[in-house]
Structures are given as structure tokens and as C-alpha cells.
Structure 1
Amino acid sequence: MSFAGMMLVGLAIDLALGWPGWLYERVGHPVTWLGAVIAWLERLANHGERSIRIGMGALCVALVLAVATGPALLVQWLLPDGIPGVILGGVLAWPLIALRSMHVHVAAVAAPLAAGDLAAARAAVAMIVGRDPNTLDEAGVARAAIESLAENTGDGIVAPVFWGVVAGLPGIAAYKAVNTLDSMIGHRSARYEAFGKVAARLDDLANLIPARLTGVLFALAAPRETGRALRVMMRDARAHRSPNAGWSEGAMAGALDVRLSGPRIYGDRVSEEPWLNGGARDPAAGDLRRALRLYARAMGLMALALGALWLV
């Protein structure tokens, strides 16, 4: 069975439908189901000394992975051969790919920013980033949204598709479990630093290859700027606070010829981050729309690659 074909079908369904609101209201979403399991385990087990919390966090990771991959393994074993299995597998992979929602959330920032409505743009960007939106001017809002688009393309689309191609439904289910664990407990805070240590490290490992692939996709999707995008990515990515996000963000910065990252405010804390493509200008509202077009082209290239793998 072609796992690449399954992922291509899943992408096509998500592009057409997203995850409809009426469906979410009735059944939720697989990620919210996993989130409920993680929250319950965290409340139950996140106690005691640091070493105990690390061990219990590792056990939480193992249990959540079993919950996610066990049913996926069974379903994949039961799938029919040929095109019917590819289509059914794609339908099951569909909820775990965020192609359409990524564009929707960033476009919700781009529209008011282009219209000069900074307050509405700040409210929209607050839905996708953790920094204080009230401290952001037009360039800050555009930068935050572009960074979110670049990073989340990697862990919301490219990474689940990559692991789906590698291992089918169990691969994409395992990745989404790891990514959800990291988003919920992989924080450097007093409560989560020890308990979420294994989840955070595993998420870094799971995104190692997909993050770099995402950067390459962004570079190739800007053919006139491919060289600069690759140079900025290779030069600046390792300076990023994340071992993975700097690759996609660096390529995006080079492709658009704007500077990203840099100092930002989280609550009452200033995070002094280095710039990506620091010698370039600040992004403006029009650059956010350019970033969305670049995203669309990059995802088109990924779809073409999946189609080629399916045919091989």
C-alpha cells in the first residue's frame, strides 16, 4: 500500500474541507481527545521530586503513544489493498493534517493588517502566538504571523505527512501524539520542566528531518530567491532558540528578504532572541500575504513529491 498516496488523499480532503465546525462540535477532534488523556495523566502523575517527575513524564509519553498508535496499527492492518485502502487511509489521516486551518488562521491576521486595522490584527495574531499582542506594531504583528506560519508548517503539516509516508497511520498518529505532548507539557516552567522533559526531547527528535525539509520547500517555492533562502537558513538556523524552528523560519526570512525572530515580550518577560536575516528590513502587511503565497507554493511542491512517490 502506498503511504505517500494516503497522505496525498489526506491533504486533498483537508484542503477541501478543513475540519468542519459542525463536526468539531459533535465529536471534537483527535488532538483534543489526546489532549484530554494527557491532561488526566499529568494531573495524576506530575508530583514528587524532580527525578520522579521525569520518570513519570516518560511513562506518560509511553502510555499516550500506545493509546495513539495501537488503534492506528489495527486499522492499518485491516485496510484493503490497492486504491480502496489508500483512500480509506487518507480519510483517516485527514484529521491529523492542518493544511487548510494553517492558511485560515494566518489569513485572519493578514486581512485586517492590510486594511490598517491594527487592533483586529493584534486580536487575530494572539490566537496563534504566545507573545503579548499589545506590544506589537504593524511590523511586529506581521513578523509574529510569518514566524508562526513558517514554524507551524513544519510541525502541523510537513512532519505529520513525513511520518505518515514513513510508517502510515501509526506514523502520523505517533507524531501527533508526540507533538501534542510537547505542546501541553513540554514547557520550561516550574510545573512542566521535569515532567515534560522526555516529551520535549522526543518532539525535537521527531521534527529534526521535517523541519529541514520545510525550509527546503520554502526555498524551492521561491525560485528567484532560492539561493538567498538557503544561505540564510544554513547561516542563521542554529542561532534560533529552537533546534528546529530556525530552519523553516530562516528559509522564510531569506525567501521574503525580511528579518524575523529578534527580541519579543512574553507577559512581563523580554526574550532576547537573535535575528534571522538580521540585515534585512522589517516585514510589513504585504509581506504576510507574500508569505501565504509562498506557503501555498511550498505545499503544492510537497503534494507533487507525494504524487511522484505514489507512482514510483
Structure 2
Amino acid sequence: MSFAGAMAVAMAVDALIGWPDWLFARVGHPVTWLGRLITAVDTGWNRTSASPAQRRAAGIAAATLVIALAASLAWAVQIVLPAGWTRIVLIGILAWPLVALRSLHDHVAAVADPLASGDVTGARAAVSRIVGRDAATLDDAGIARATIESLAENASDGIVAPAFWGALFGLPGIVGYKAINTLDSMIGHRTARHEAFGWASARIDDLANLIPARLTGLLFVLLASQRAQAWSCMLRDASRHRSPNAGWPEAAMAGGLGVRLSGPRIYHSSVAKEPWLNEAARDPVAADIRRGLKLYRRAMMLLAAIFAILALV
């Protein structure tokens, strides 16, 4: 399980320094590189004049190309690395940009601080950077719900899932997963343009997150102050979520904090009637965002410790 040790290194480096702004300004970020490739295939292969079947076939080919190319390049790098602990450390450093541990924490904290001080305008501006819903329509409770939901879901998609696949397959595993997740975020939408072309990307992402989402929920349950409530809420409400995966960490977080999440929200001026998670509980407030961050930090520390132990064993 040497790759598990590499993921522990990646998480530790990211927790300490994140992805510095000066570095992003100079070289960008691996996800932005993937984004350029995905934009190119979307522009060139997703032809509006084609039939839905043709566009779905093109989307399957596009997803296959992006994932295979990203994973193959990562594999080519990995096989030339030296053996032993040097290899583990180097893989961890190369994987570091692909776990968004610190970035997620900082973006969520940026919502909690103005919301706690009564600066609703500042809180709306901050939450608009991490959610897709119309932030201008959110009240205090809506801002807190959106932030905690984003924290729970992105803990799975942004940290646990890439680290999980990296622990199994090393650099090709984590890079391949990020290609999958970026494809889904860019073209895996049920819109007129991407309903057919992005179908494969969305389905592959669902499969790639099947185990990590449930693992994230379990981590939240184990470390929640209201463990029994987190467990029962996750088992009861996870399947009610529109996503086959996001409901697991979100329901565990809702039960663990004793608040209700999800529910109706506005996307692009349309009301999406989402079901509630932990419906009988109270609405969250700014203090619950901070409690959620505390649970998140503890869960990620436990995950990193598990990886380190597996590496040593």
C-alpha cells in the first residue's frame, strides 16, 4: 500500500500550503489544464447539427480520450520515479495539487466569517464562489445550508475520492479521477448542449464516486458529536438526494450537526424542489458552518492517518 503513503504526503502538503496564488498565476493548475482539453473536445466534437445518438457517441469518445490521456501521462511519469520511500514522497508531491483540502476549508471559512458578523452581502458573495444556486435569493439560513452542503459534497469529490483512487493506483489513479470529475463538472449537465454529449461523463463520475461518497459519510459519522443521529440520518435520507452519491456525506453532516440541509432552492430563476435531509431539525446558522469545518478537519486527519498506517503496515 505504498500509494497510500503518497496520498498521506499529498494531504499533508496541501493542508500546510494549499496551492499558492503566486504559483497559480505562473503555471495555472492541473485542473485548468484538463479544462482546456475538455473545452477543446467539447467545441470540436459536440456538434449541434448531429443527432442525440451521435452526440452521445461523441461524448463517450471524448470522455474516453480525456481520461485515458490524463492517466497515461501520469503512468508514464510514475514508472520513471525511483523506488522506495523516495518514490512515495515524489508521488505525494506530484499528487498534492489534486487534493483541494486547504482550498475547500478556506472557501467555506470565508462564508462563515461575514455571516457571523451580520454581513449578509459579503456572505452571499463568498457562497456564490462555491455553489451554483442563485446566492442573491438566499437568506441567512439558506447561505448556511448551501455552505455546509458544499463542504460535505466537496469533501468527498475534492479530497476523499481523489485520495482513494490515488491510494489504489498511484498517480494514474488520482489524475484519472480528476479527469473524470472535471469532465462531469464541465459537461455532465442536463442542458440542451450537454444532455447527450455529457451523458457518459456524468455516468462515469457517478461510478467513480460510489465508494468514496459512502466512505466520506462514514468518516463524518465516526467523528460527529451526535454519532447516532449522523448514522441514522445518513441511512434514512441519503437515497432521497437527487445525486446517487452526494446524499451520503450531506446526510451524515446534517445528522452530525443536528441541522436540516438541502430542500428547495433557486437555480437560474427556477425553483428546484429538492427534498430535505434531516427535515425535522432546525435551520443552520453561521456557528454550524464552523462546527462543520471542525468535523471536516477531524475527518480529513483521520483519513490521512489511515493512509499513513496502511503505508507503514
User: Which TM bucket (shorter chain)?
Assistant: over 0.9
* Aligned counterpart for 1:126 among listed residues 128, 150, 156: 128
Describe the superposition over 1:161-215 as per-residue Cα deviations: whole angstroms up to 9, x where unpaired. 0000111100001100000000000000000010000000000000000000000
* Aligned counterpart for 2:174 among listed residues 172, 175, 179: 172
Describe the superposition over 1:29-48 as per-residue Cα deviations: whole angstroms up to 9, x where unpaired. 11100100000110101011
Shift of 1:227: 1.4
Runs of 4+ in 1 over 2 A off after TM superposition: none
Pairwise mapping of residues 206-221 of structure 1 onto structure 2 (< 5 A)?
206-221=208-223
Pair 1:34 & 2:15 matched = no
RMSD: 0.7
Shift of 1:80: 1.2
* Aligned counterpart for 2:55 among listed residues 53, 56, 59: 53
Whole-angstrom CA distance in 2 between matches of 1:32 and 1:121? 26
Name the structure 2 match of 1:265: 266
Whole-angstrom CA distance in 1 between matches of 2:69 and 2:32? 13
Whole-angstrom CA distance in 2 between matches of 1:230 and 1:193? 35
Pairwise mapping of residues 256-295 of structure 1 onto structure 2 (< 5 A)?
256-295=257-296
Name the structure 1 match of 2:43: 43
Shift of 1:65: 1.1
Name the structure 1 match of 2:235: 234
Name the structure 2 match of 1:14: 14
SS of residue paired to 2:132: coil
- Aligned-pair identity (%): 61
Structure 2 stretches lacking a partner, 5+ long = none
Whole-angstrom CA distance in 1 between matches of 2:55 and 2:229? 44
SS of residue paired to 2:226: helix
Supply the AA of the counterpart residue of 1:42: D
Whole-angstrom CA distance in 1 between matches of 2:84 and 2:114? 46
**TM-score, normalization: structure 1?**
0.99
Whole-angstrom CA distance in 2 between matches of 1:105 and 1:268? 25
* Aligned counterpart for 1:74 among listed residues 51, 76, 82: 76
Whole-angstrom CA distance in 1 between matches of 2:38 and 2:308? 35
SS of residue paired to 2:133: coil
Shift of 1:66: 2.1
Supply the AA of the counterpart residue of 1:267: H
Whole-angstrom CA distance in 2 between matches of 1:260 and 1:220? 20
Whole-angstrom CA distance in 2 between matches of 1:307 and 1:250? 28
Name the structure 2 match of 1:83: 85
Name the structure 1 match of 2:145: 143
Whole-angstrom CA distance in 2 between matches of 1:245 and 1:151? 5
Aligned length: 311
Name the structure 1 match of 2:245: 244
Whole-angstrom CA distance in 2 between matches of 1:294 and 1:170? 30
SS of residue paired to 1:38: helix
Whole-angstrom CA distance in 2 between matches of 1:212 and 1:137? 30
Name the structure 2 match of 1:310: 311
Pair 1:158 & 2:160 matched = yes
Supply the AA of the counterpart residue of 1:195: F
Whole-angstrom CA distance in 2 between matches of 1:256 and 1:31? 32
When structure 1 is superposed on structure 2, of 60-69 and 112-121 the one drifting more is: 60-69
Shift of 1:129: 0.4
